[in-house]
Amino acid sequence: MSVFNIDDIEQAVRSKLDKATWDFWAGGANDLITIAENKAAYEEYRIRPRYMRDVTNVSTAPKKPLFSGLDFTVPIGIAPSSMHKLAHHEAEAATARAAKAHNWPMAISSYSTLSLEDAKEAAGDSLVFFQLYVFKNRDTSTDLVRRAEKAGFKAVLVTIDSPFLGLRFAEARNKFTLPPGLAPGNFADGRYAGPIDFAVDSKSKSKGPGKNDALKDGKPNIVDPALVFEDIKWLKSITKMQVWLKGVMTAEDAEAAVAAGADGVWVSNHGGRQLDQCLPTLHALPEVVAAVKGKIPVHVDGGVRRGSDVFKALALGADFVWIGRPVLWGLKYDGQAGVELVERFLEDELKLCMALSGTASVKDINKSYLTHRGPTW
Ligand code: FNR
């Protein structure tokens, strides 16, 4: 089958994937309302184009470097998602090489299949964020952070939207567990495995409603529901890397993040996998941007499938836009080449969208290029 966009890749992959893995990737919390609305929010905006603006040369280069000295091709990156080996035998190495090949930034999950060191080696400068779940056992988190710093990561990206695991009915119905032999690569001895995203503990085969591992106590390395903004100080005391927060969805949390010394915030609702009925990320973005007042960068993810989606998020004030599921689909579709295809589609679509809107550079894109759905359409 020929593929021309991300939707085509999604459909191609769906037909060759077992139901349980498809549901694990595509699914989310409860009634899947937030997943659908993340995507639908982009349809609430339309673009107001300007013509006769000389768009012979369009540059998609980000407005400012994500980290000093790193000039990425586009303000789009690969969001952290667990266990890439479910998609392809080369796992995060294939994703990392695709990031490097297209000069995209990438974040790696705490629950990657490869170790953070191996992934970093494959990605080079592209792998900038180490996504961290802060565990009840702070020594485990400290160990991970120190390893990431040693491996050359630029920032630790703390996921704050998962004090407990969201209810995912499809995973429970499918009794989804990791295939034999698959385990998170950062926890070679299995001791550090936690509950978020999959049940790896042999004693808890199902993590369906009522059997949520995260609700049980007594395990040393489950995510710490007691995490507070004050803990940013602790994180800053154990690393020289920047500390970013992923899951900031309101002005209140954005202000708290700035006050607590966060180096950046990432607007995310975990792709609708945690709190269902959470507002869509595109609608959270403007209030976060307003609250942050330009003091630190604001990134966003959730439901981005088109270059025009990227354009809209940039117009509403995002510095960078990240994609989750499309990367997994690309990886399943054709390994590194599949992820590169996803990257190419988004790059080409963004560039064309910019040219047809009359914005030759990313800094030209602003709110005046959008109109929100009103009574007229
Ligand atoms: C995720 N995401 C995620 N986030 C995180 O901080 N740590 C993680 O380990 C994971 N794991 C994970 C697994 C799978 C299968 C998916 C689909 C997602 C969330 C991810 O970083 C991102 O926020 C969303 O995927 C963005 O939404 P879209 O692009 O998938 O719609």
| CATH of residue 99 | 3.20.20.70
Question: Looking at ligand 1, which residue's alpha carbon is closest to its atom 23?
Answer: 270
* Residue 255 is assigned to a structural domain of this protein: yes
**Which of ligand 1's atoms lies nearest the C-alpha of 268?**
23
In a domain, 249, yes or no: yes
Greatest pairwise CA separation for the chain in angstroms:
65
Q: Lowest mean pLDDT: which of 46-60, 183-197, 270-284, 347-361?
A: 183-197
Q: What is the pLDDT of residues 78-93, one digit of tens each?
A: 999 999 999 999 999 9
For residue 115, what are the CA distances in angstroms to 105, 159, 297? 18, 19, 28
- Does residue 377 lie within any of the structural domains? no
**What tokens does 115 get?**
């170790």
The model's confidence at residue 98, banded by pLDDT at 50, 70 and 90, is very high
Ligand 1 mean position to 179 CA, how many Å? Answer: 19
What number does the ligand 1 atom closest to the CA of 323 have? 29
| Any domain includes 74 | yes
Return the ligand 1 atom nearest residue 80 CA.
21
Give the closest residue (by CA) to ligand 1 atom 10.
81
* 41 inside domain: yes
Percentage of the chain modeled with pLDDT above 90: 82
Nearest-CA residue for ligand 1 atom 2 is 81
Judged against a pLDDT cut of 80, whether residue 1 lies above it is answered with no
Whether 82 is in the pocket of ligand 1, judged by its Cβ within 6 Å, is yes
What spacing in Å lies between the alpha carbon of 284 and ligand 1's midpoint?
Answer: 17
Residue in 273, 329, 332 to alter for ligand 1 test, most ligand atoms within 8 A of Cβ: 273
User: From ligand 1's centre to the CA of 230, what distance in Å?
Assistant: 25
For position 222, what pLDDT does the model report? 80
Question: What ligand 1 atom has the least distance to the C-alpha of 270?
Answer: 23
Given a contact cutoff of 8 angstroms between Cβ atoms, the answer to whether 285 and 21 are in contact is no
Q: Is the minimum distance from the CB of 305 to ligand 1 under 6 angstroms? A: no
Residue 32 sits in which domain range? 6-372
Is 1 part of a structural domain of the chain? no
For residue 358, pLDDT over 60 is answered with yes
Rounded-to-10 torsion of CA 52, 55, 59, 63: -10
pLDDT attached to residue 227: 96
The confidence score (pLDDT) of residue 193 equals 54
Residue 89: predicted pLDDT: 96
Atom of ligand 1 nearest to the CA of 131: 6
| pLDDT category of residue 7 using cuts at 50, 70 and 90 | very high
92 lines ligand 1 (CB under 6 A): no
pLDDT above 80: residue 206:
no
Give tens-digit pLDDT for 298-344: 999 999 999 999 999 999 999 999 999 999 999 999 999 999 999 99
Residue 280 lies in a domain: yes
∠ CA 111-194-18, nearest 5°, is 60
Q: How many angstroms separate the alpha carbon of residue 323 from the centre of ligand 1?
A: 8
364 domain-assigned: yes
Report which protein residue has its CA nearest ligand 1's atom 15: 25
Q: Looking at the 3D structure of the chain, how many domains does it have?
A: 1
Which pLDDT belongs to residue 137?
85
Pocket flag, ligand 1, residue 323 (CB < 6 Å): yes
Q: Is the pLDDT of residue 219 over 80?
A: no
- Could you give the residue numbers annotated as active site? 270
- Ligand 1 centre to CA of 271 (Å) is 6
302 C-alpha to ligand 1 centroid (Å)? 8
